[in-house]
Amino acid sequence: MNNKAFTLLEVMIAMFIFAIVIGGMAPVFTAHLQRNAAAQTRTEAMQAGQYVLDQLRIVDPSTLDSTGTRDAEEIVINGRAYQVFVSFCMEAGYCPGTNTRHIGIEVKRDNQVLFQTQTVYTLLR
């Protein structure tokens, strides 16, 4: 008999093999989703820090604090709130005059530091 159809047993075996393959891929897919969400959170934290730095760039550096850390500023990006802390002149050598400020930015969410950067801002006039 030359039968070209699949038997029920063959179909069940194929479905079993397919289920094993898909079951093995589920943890990989879940881990990928978690890494993707963490990367998005870090990117948003960088955007929050950049926003605060951009706001500081339009201010005369001599009017900025000469030392210390400001209270957290809350920045919302894509519905998520980030706390941005700005520190001034952590290293006195980077603040030689009134027209130069060493600025440090630290961005947190849920008390976890997601982004940090430092820059020296000076007035070029």
Ranges of each domain in the chain = 8-122
Please report where in the chains the tokens 């919302």 appear, as a residue.
76
Q: pLDDT tens digits, residue range 9-43?
A: 888 999 999 998 888 888 888 999 999 999 999 99
> What secondary structure, in 3-state letters, does the chain show?
CCCCCCCHHHHHHHHHHHHHHHHHHHHHHHHHHHHHHHHHHHHHHHHHHHHHHHHHHCCCHHHCCCCEECCCEEEEECCEEEEEEEEECCCHHHCCCCCEEEEEEEEEECCEEEEEEEEEEECCC
Distance of CA 100 to the CA centre of its chain: 28
pLDDT of 1 reads 54
At residue 64, the pLDDT reads 87
Q: Which tens digits make up the pLDDT trace of 86-111?
A: 999 988 888 888 888 999 999 999 99
Region 8-122: CATH code: 3.30.1300.30
pTM, rounded to two decimals: 0.77
pLDDT at 75 over 60: yes
pLDDT(72) > 90: yes
